[in-house]
Amino acid sequence: MEKSLTRYIWNHTRRQQIYILIVVLVSMIPYFMSFDLPKRIVNGPIQGDGFGEPGARQIFGAISLPIPGFGSVPIFGGLELTRMEMLYALSMVFLGLVVVNGLFKLYINTYKGRLGERLLRRIRYQLIDRILRFPPAQFKRMKGSEVSSMVKDEVEPLGGFTGDAFVQPVLLGGQALTALTFILLQNVWLGAIAAFMVGIQAVIIPRMRRRLLVLGRERQITARELAGRVGEIVDGIGTIHAYDTSNYERADIAHRLGRIFKIRYDLYQWKFMVKFINNFLAQLTPFLFYCIGGYLALKGSLDIGQLVAVISAYKDLPGPLKELIDWDQTRQDVQVKFVQVVEQFEAENMIDPALQALPAPVAAAGMAAAGIAAAGATAGLAKPPPAAMHKEASPEEEAEAMRESAGPLAAVNLTLSDDSGARLAERVSVEIQPGETVAIIGAAASGGDAVAEAFARLIWPESGRITLGGKDILELPESVVGRRITYAASDCFFFYGSLRDNLLYGLKHAPLAEAHYEGSLLAHRKWEINEARLAGNPHHDINSDWIDYSAAGATHADDLFASILTVLDAVQLSKDILDLALRTTIDPQSRPELAERIVEMRSALTGELEEAGLSGLVVPFEPGAYNPEATVGENLLFGTAIGPRMMPQALAKNTYFRQVIDQSGLDRILFDMGYQIAENAVELFADLPPDHPFFQQLTFMSADDIPLYQGLLQKLRGANGFERASETERGQMIRLSFQYIEPRHRFGLLTRELMDKIIAVRQTFHENMPEDMREEIERYDPERYLASATLMDNVLFGRISNKHADGQKRIRAIVSSLLNTMGLLEQVLDIGMDFNVGAGGKRLTIVQRQKLNLARAMIRRSDFYIFNRPLPGLDNRLQDEILRDVMKLVRGSGEHQAIIWVLSNLASASLFERVLVFDRGLLVEDGHHAELGRKNGVFKQLVAS
């Protein structure tokens, strides 16, 4: 990128700048005409110049073309108008000029604004493009939030400046020069004084502003660092809490803010000081005119008329001059910002853009047929090498051939070192043929993992190289390397979005099927393409289908699921996703068929449970029966609250609900019940300290409530406690009974009659409910899907019995197998795939993330799978199971696919055909597992230890 902003703007907007300058100059004509007009209106029709006698007429609007040396040639003779008509005509012209001037202004401003916005878009795009082409080592020194603050905030003022970059100085300079010339014409000496003062301003003010620029740069850097620190605090919040360093962070932030304040305040003070001096200098000139000019006039050596003319001409000078100086200030300011940002985006060994370009024949169809392996692993950002590529054959053709078949992957005399220069691996030479299975083993940091990272282009070789089919992978297009080689390690990154998007991320290399647009959408798309071109952005459509189905072993979106499921099963993630799905609430309107099948599933589940002899495991909700496993409140309400008035906290104050309860006499019964519950709870828990773990078991009360209820019990003891209780106290007691579940709490408070009574009250409650409240509750109906409940609750449509140990676990297993037999598993998993994984995938557990990371790699077909200890979060048994399944899956596809696995569990090495043993950065042994076992080498030692 250019080092100078002015040059950058000129290079990218030259034509537009000249065009707008011309427009501005043209707009000056009506502008100056409108200055002259008022005088003509006042002098002519109003004051009656030339309209001496009544009925006098004047010519209006005569146009003639002056031709030098020939006189003027009349083009239009004009109209003869009376005084009144002249007034109207001239006023109309004035109005017309006002409109024309306004329109010019509107057009110019819009044009300049658009110019600026396009340039801003271009700069931002170029900066991000550079990030995508940085060599991997660059990212070790960058803070994400600093970079994003640069791209987002620091370049923002550049856009605003663009429109004024050339127009403003020309225009203002012209105005200032005109005014100055005019003064000089009136009186050379006074003109010289004015010119001298302007000269002083032009020299002193920019000098004083240099300090402003220094301060501005500091302000920019400190603000950027602040952004970086804020980002660090967010990312490291776990560490901060763990070590109780929040106050250290506070101190650091306060210190930084203090510094920023100081810089900004300095800037502020200095700015106004400069302003003061500037104004002073501007006012000094008229002082000199009055003082010296007046003296000369009194002495008689200067004509008073001239002096007045000079003074009145002078008033047009400071305005443009001040604006010009301001413009210069902005220019320097944005120039500094620009340089500051561009410097940060300079890196050595940037990846050649040609290596990342979409391959030419990507044009959809060809791709699927060739079965191009897809790529884009976790190494999305890291890419090929320095510029200069030496190629004999046409690189296009070569790349095309590579896409068909890759050939062996080899490290040739490879030496790797870390940032500090320490050797990670030395002179490693190894060749891996397509179809081989290779285990890399060795103690931690013995070089094997570094070699795996180098295969994935995460570390670039210090010397030696890595070749694919004989070509250096850093010189091959990413469309080849990134798809032939798949890499997964333990440090996985996920993008904010659904689980599905993240799983299929590695398939999105190119827009394969263009999105289809119609009508206004088509027009918008065309506009998008056009604008992208004008701002130098690419116009790949994000709405196209980017998923390379053939790379996932599918033909189109419909049969992709089979591939997904195989992979999810292999990494043992499908159960997690099913659980996620079962905990989701879905809108039955958007999936009516699924909702219907889920309702059908309820009876199937009952049958299944009966068959397994577990019919008591789930107690279903039945409209005419009391569900003993649900709370009294749930039985009474018999539905899920949707609106605020039905929520448990608000229910006690709900007048209609209270009315139904009171009329049925249930209030007294529930009050007595609550009283007994309170009695039991106080008896059981009164002696325990509030933080005692037993309180977890007390679901209807917290430890803090105990003293309150102790008081209530004492007060309301004895007969007619209900009558003596206040409204709130009754509520407090009744609230307890709402939470009561007989089989769980076992206080023996629920009699047959009470249950019947509750059912009766439930019926009345629902039957007489006012219309507007009906929408706030979703009544339990065995034949309908409950929109407000989770999928699992909808399947169960009841409560899991407290009597069965492991009830939850068992029911889950039964439901999942039932979903499978009913053919619903796919749809339900699909819902689970919608789960948003959160920022960086943080809503998933570490184990789930590592499994998903492996699944994301597995789903794309490629020639070399490199797994660098991908599952450290799992125990050895699970790791081994998944490893076997993954190997089976890769081998089972029948193609020549190689696996290179850096093992953490040495016992698994026997599953591989070939074992590479690393020790202190050197490849020490290479051979078949059994063969190495017989030798008395490092391998044997490792296995033995």
Partner 1 sequence: MLLKDEVQMLRRVPLFSGVEPGKLKLLAFTSDRVSYSVGETLFHQGDIGDAAYVVLDGKADILVESSTGPIKVAEVERNSIVGEIAILCDVSRTATVTATTGVEALRIRKDHFLKLLTDFPEITIQIMRVLADRLSHTTSELTEARSRVRQLE
Residue ranges that bind partner 1, judged by CB under 8 A: 613, 680, 683-685, 688, 692-694, 697, 743-748, 802-805
Q: How far is the CB of 761 from partner 1 (least distance, A)?
A: 25
The residue among 409 and 750 lying less far from partner 1, judged by its C-beta, is 750
The residue among 590 and 696 lying less far from partner 1, judged by its C-beta, is 696
The residue among 306 and 680 lying less far from partner 1, judged by its C-beta, is 680
The residue among 613 and 644 lying less far from partner 1, judged by its C-beta, is 613
Distinct helix (H) and strand (E) counts, the chain: 38, 20
The residue among 262 and 746 lying less far from partner 1, judged by its C-beta, is 746
Q: How far is the CB of 901 from partner 1 (least distance, A)?
A: 30
Closest alpha carbon to 863 in 382, 485, 569, 551: 485
The residue among 697 and 893 lying less far from partner 1, judged by its C-beta, is 697
Q: What angle (nearest 5°) sits at the alpha carbon of residue 479, between those of residues 474 and 484?
A: 80
- Distance of alpha carbon 383 from its chain centroid, rounded? 23
Beta strands of 418-522 (E only): which ranges? 423-432, 437-441, 463-468, 471-472, 485-489, 508-513
Residue 270 half-sphere exposure toward CB, CA atoms < 13 A: 18
Residue with tokens 């037993």: 694
Contacts of residue 149, Cβ cutoff 8 Å, sequence gap at least 6:
223, 224, 227, 228
Instruction: Name all contacts of 676-680 with Cβ < 8 Å and 24+ positions apart.
Output: 676/747, 676/749, 677/736, 677/737, 677/740, 677/745, 677/747, 677/749, 678/709, 678/712, 678/713, 678/733, 678/736, 679/713, 680/747
Contacts of residue 661, Cβ cutoff 8 Å, sequence gap at least 6:
667, 670, 734, 761
| Contact assessment for residue 432 and residue 438, using Cβ atoms and an 8 Å cutoff | yes
- Distance of alpha carbon 853 from its chain centroid, rounded? 21
The residue among 419 and 753 lying less far from partner 1, judged by its C-beta, is 753
Rounded distance between C-alpha atoms, residue 336 and residue 210, angstroms: 11
The residue among 238 and 613 lying less far from partner 1, judged by its C-beta, is 613
Q: How far is the CB of 679 from partner 1 (least distance, A)?
A: 12
Q: How far is the CB of 696 from partner 1 (least distance, A)?
A: 8
Rounded distance between C-alpha atoms, residue 607 and residue 615, angstroms: 8
Q: How far is the CB of 872 from partner 1 (least distance, A)?
A: 22
Amino acid at 282: A
The residue among 584 and 680 lying less far from partner 1, judged by its C-beta, is 680
| Contact assessment for residue 455 and residue 492, using Cβ atoms and an 8 Å cutoff | no
Rounded distance between C-alpha atoms, residue 49 and residue 51, angstroms: 5
The residue among 801 and 862 lying less far from partner 1, judged by its C-beta, is 801
Rounded distance between C-alpha atoms, residue 865 and residue 487, angstroms: 6
Q: How far is the CB of 631 from partner 1 (least distance, A)?
A: 17
Residue with tokens 């896409």: 403
Q: How far is the CB of 683 from partner 1 (least distance, A)?
A: 7
Q: How far is the CB of 693 from partner 1 (least distance, A)?
A: 6
The residue among 423 and 744 lying less far from partner 1, judged by its C-beta, is 744
The residue among 629 and 778 lying less far from partner 1, judged by its C-beta, is 629
Q: How far is the CB of 681 from partner 1 (least distance, A)?
A: 9
The residue among 719 and 805 lying less far from partner 1, judged by its C-beta, is 805
Q: For the stretch 607-621, what's the b/e string if a residue is b when 16 or more beta carbons lie within 10 angstroms of its beta carbon?
A: ebbeeeebeebbbbb
Q: How far is the CB of 627 from partner 1 (least distance, A)?
A: 18
Helix-strand-coil percent breakdown of the chain, rounded to 5? 60, 10, 30
Q: How far is the CB of 701 from partner 1 (least distance, A)?
A: 12
Contacts of residue 26, Cβ cutoff 8 Å, sequence gap at least 6:
104
Rounded distance between C-alpha atoms, residue 721 and residue 370, angstroms: 84
The residue among 804 and 920 lying less far from partner 1, judged by its C-beta, is 804
| Contact assessment for residue 860 and residue 398, using Cβ atoms and an 8 Å cutoff | no
Q: How far is the CB of 803 from partner 1 (least distance, A)?
A: 5
- Length of the chain counted residue by residue: 945
Residue 622 half-sphere exposure toward CB, CA atoms < 13 A: 9
The residue among 452 and 698 lying less far from partner 1, judged by its C-beta, is 698
Q: How far is the CB of 218 from partner 1 (least distance, A)?
A: 57
Tokens read off for 798: 């009841």
Rounded distance between C-alpha atoms, residue 17 and residue 171, angstroms: 13
Q: How far is the CB of 750 from partner 1 (least distance, A)?
A: 10
Q: How far is the CB of 752 from partner 1 (least distance, A)?
A: 15
Tokens read off for 64: 């003639």
Q: How far is the CB of 880 from partner 1 (least distance, A)?
A: 18
Rounded distance between C-alpha atoms, residue 134 and residue 139, angstroms: 8
The residue among 699 and 726 lying less far from partner 1, judged by its C-beta, is 699
Rounded distance between C-alpha atoms, residue 104 and residue 720, angstroms: 88
